[in-house]
Amino acid sequence: MEKGIRYLRELAVREVIYGDWRVNVHPDEMLCKQSLLRKLVQSAPLVCSHTLSTMIWGRSDGNTPTVNEVANKVQQYEDSLSRPYSVAAMEKLIEKTIEKMTEKMTEKMTKKMAEQNEKLTKRMAEQNEKIIEKMTKRIAEQKEKMTE
pLDDT value of position 110: 94
pLDDT value of position 119: 95
pLDDT value of position 111: 94
pLDDT value of position 118: 95
Name residues of the chain where pLDDT drops below 50. none
pLDDT value of position 148: 72
- Whether this prediction's pTM lies above 0.75 is answered by no
Rounded CA gap, 140 and 134, in Å?
Answer: 10
> In a 3-state reduction of DSSP, which class is residue 55?
helix
> In a 3-state reduction of DSSP, which class is residue 31?
strand
